């Protein structure tokens, strides 16, 4: 634990004093707080398993959750957890040493899912689906063992947007990663408190704080992934029209089932003339073309 703290938590020790960084930090904290409140994530007195990969996103999430906890805005217990999946060359000491130094309660779990993935996935196919499924199963188990009510993941706004287009282009459905869900067994919540946070903000924050980033060599070693292709498309849209990412993300929060094509979501058969569906003068009503 650091002895000469100059901030609210060791995770913020040595934070830049620049106005730019202070604005960045404030923006991320506000975005996380907005997501937590909007999607009803807080159960007072609950315990969260905060999952750390060692990437920029999970470091950012860990720091911001501890800031909100310190400010009394997140009345839950936080337990950081890293699942070491046995990838060759993985720097197994980095996260435990960092968390110990920061005074963050944590659990490090070793499970060799890497060998399973390499054995089961045919050559040329992507690892992500099986790797994610195995990882999630172990995290659920750990959460139960630790008495946690929620598993907290570090997916950010751009992950959610990319998943939407992956489902649209390749899955034939309109869906994405929800900010809050209940697992199939019905005993755990899954939260994504970075849902409103831009990836670039996570990059800037983790870089400015000089957190020890650990790359994912398993996924990163594969070329031509569908997610990489979708990311490239969105990057090009953003380059041509700055701000488009945020507009598309806001659209995911402003869905009108009556103007889609799914009869399971809207009763087209029962739609009657003369029925007022919504107040056109309502400022909250989305403008449709």
Task: Render pLDDT for 83-129 as a digit per residue (tens, 0 to 9).
Answer: 888 788 888 899 999 999 999 999 999 988 777 877 777 776 666 77
Domain-located, residue 125 = yes
pLDDT at residue 222 tops 50:
no
The total of other beta-carbon atoms located within 10 Å of residue 30's CB is 13
Domain-located, residue 285 = no
Domain-located, residue 265 = no
Domain-located, residue 196 = yes
pLDDT at residue 187 tops 50:
yes
pLDDT at 189: 98
Banded pLDDT at 258 (limits 50, 70, 90): very high
Maximum average pLDDT range among 84-88, 128-132, 171-175, 217-221: 171-175
Q: How far apart are CA 207 and CA 43, in angstroms?
A: 32
DSSP state of 176: -
CATH of the domain at 27: 3.40.50.620
Domain that holds residue 124: 10-246
Domain-located, residue 128 = yes
* Residue 159 in tokens: 């992950």
Domain-located, residue 257 = no
Domains identified in the chain, total number: 1
- Outline where DSSP puts E strands in the chain: 47-51, 77-84, 106-110, 150-152, 180-182, 189-191
Domain-located, residue 177 = yes
pLDDT at 286: 56
Domain-located, residue 1 = no
Q: Which of 176, 127, 129 minimizes the C-alpha distance to 156?
A: 176
If you average pLDDT over residues 39-68, what whole number do you get? Answer: 96
> How many Cα atoms are found within 13 Å in the side-chain-facing hemisphere of 205?
26
If you average pLDDT over residues 255-279, what whole number do you get? Answer: 85
């Amino acid at each position: 634990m650091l002895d000469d703290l100059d901030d609210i938590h060791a995770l913020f020790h040595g934070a830049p004093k620049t106005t730019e960084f202070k604005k960045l930090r404030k923006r991320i904290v506000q975005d996380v707080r907005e997501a937590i409140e909007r999607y009803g994530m807080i159960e007072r007195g609950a315990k969260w398993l905060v999952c750390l990969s060692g990437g920029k996103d999970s470091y950012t999430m860990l720091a911001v959750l501890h800031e909100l906890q310190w400010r009394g805005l997140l009345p839950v217990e936080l337990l950081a957890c890293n699942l070491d999946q046995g990838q060759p060359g993985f720097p197994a000491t980095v996260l435990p040493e960092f968390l110990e130094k920061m005074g963050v309660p944590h659990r490090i779990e070793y499970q060799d899912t890497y060998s399973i993935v390499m054995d089961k996935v045919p050559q040329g196919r992507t690892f992500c689906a099986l790797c994610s499924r195995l990882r999630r199963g172990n995290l659920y188990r750990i959460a139960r063992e630790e008495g946690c009510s929620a598993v907290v993941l570090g997916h950010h706004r751009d992950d959610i947007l990319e998943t939407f287009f992956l489902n649209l282009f390749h899955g034939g459905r309109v869906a994405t990663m929800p900010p809050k869900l209940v697992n199939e067994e019905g005993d755990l919540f899954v939260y994504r408190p970075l849902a409103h946070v831009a990836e670039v903000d996570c990059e800037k924050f983790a870089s400015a704080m000089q957190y020890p980033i650990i790359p994912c060599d398993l996924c990163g070693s594969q070329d031509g992934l569908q997610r990489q292709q979708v990311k490239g498309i969105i990057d090009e849209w953003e380059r041509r029209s700055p701000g488009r990412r945020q507009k598309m993300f806001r659209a995911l929060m402003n869905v009108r089932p009556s103007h889609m094509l799914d009869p399971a979501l809207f009763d087209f058969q029962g739609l009657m003339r003369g029925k007022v569906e919504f107040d056109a003068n309502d400022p909250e009503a989305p403008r449709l073309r």
